[in-house]
């Protein structure tokens, strides 16, 4: 997948909010082929930024809202809100099948699947991980969810909704945690997961702002 243009939704002297396209890394990977990423594009757009810029990350295959600090103090101020779980985060996902419960809480500890990284697995010795969900709509062969992660573990939403001990309904188009094609579902071209809402206090003004992004699916 070739990532499309990255939209800038908000910019001030100390922070920037972007709408990341699916297929774009949050930070650079190894080698020149993986140099293109959100951080690099923001540095190009804001050459006077002193960084470090990254506050949080989205998986490469996930689209949606990210906020970056344009100076070290701004980055620390924003990061502290994520660490203290004071950020409103809402995701939209399309999952395979008909989710019966209208809402629920998935509370399953996660750790890396070391022989098969970057996969994560449910394990008693993993880190505490909690995800709330609510059904937004039901279609013939899939369900649209609003997802509210209470913690921010790697691949948390993807594992929690896919694992039978959680929701048992994998996100459509997930290359790691679902079948290549779900029975009864039309094939999709991307991971159907989007960071739709981000509520956070901005540095400088310390004013709470809520940003919204409509999912492209």
Q: Any idea which residues carry the catalytic annotation?
A: 59
Helix (H) or strand (E) holding 110: strand 110-112
| Parallel, antiparallel or unpaired: strands 110-112 and 142-149 | unpaired
Q: Write the burial class of residue 9 (CB in 10 Å: 0-12 exposed, 13-18 middle, 19+ buried).
A: middle
DSSP per residue over 111-145, as a string? EE-GGGTT-EEE-TTSB--EEEEEEEEE-SSEEEE
Phi, psi of 93 (to 5 degrees): -140, 145
- The answer to whether the CB of 201 falls within 8 A of the CB of 208 is yes
């Amino acid at each position: 997948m070739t990532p499309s243009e990255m939209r800038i939704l908000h910019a001030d002297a100390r922070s920037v909010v972007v709408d990341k396209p699916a297929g774009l890394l949050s930070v650079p990977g190894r080698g020149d082929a993986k140099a293109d990423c959100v951080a690099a594009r923001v540095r190009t757009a804001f050459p006077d930024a002193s960084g470090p810029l990254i506050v949080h990350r989205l998986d490469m295959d996930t689209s949606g809202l990210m906020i970056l600090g344009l100076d070290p103090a701004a980055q620390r101020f924003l990061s502290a809100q994520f660490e203290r779980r004071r950020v409103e985060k809402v995701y939209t996902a399309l999952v395979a099948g008909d989710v019966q419960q209208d809402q629920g809480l998935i509370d399953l500890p996660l750790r890396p699947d070391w022989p098969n990284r970057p996969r994560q697995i449910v394990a008693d010795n993993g880190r505490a991980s909690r995800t709330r969900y609510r059904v937004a709509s039901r279609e013939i062969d899939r369900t649209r969810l609003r997802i509210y992660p209470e913690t921010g573990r790697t691949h948390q939403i993807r594992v929690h909704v896919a694992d039978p001990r959680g929701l048992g309904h994998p996100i459509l188009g997930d290359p790691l945690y679902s079948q290549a094609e779900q029975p009864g579902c039309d094939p999709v071209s991307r991971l159907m997961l989007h960071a739709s809402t981000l509520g956070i206090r901005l540095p400088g003004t310390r004013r709470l702002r809520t940003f919204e992004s409509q999912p492209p699916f």
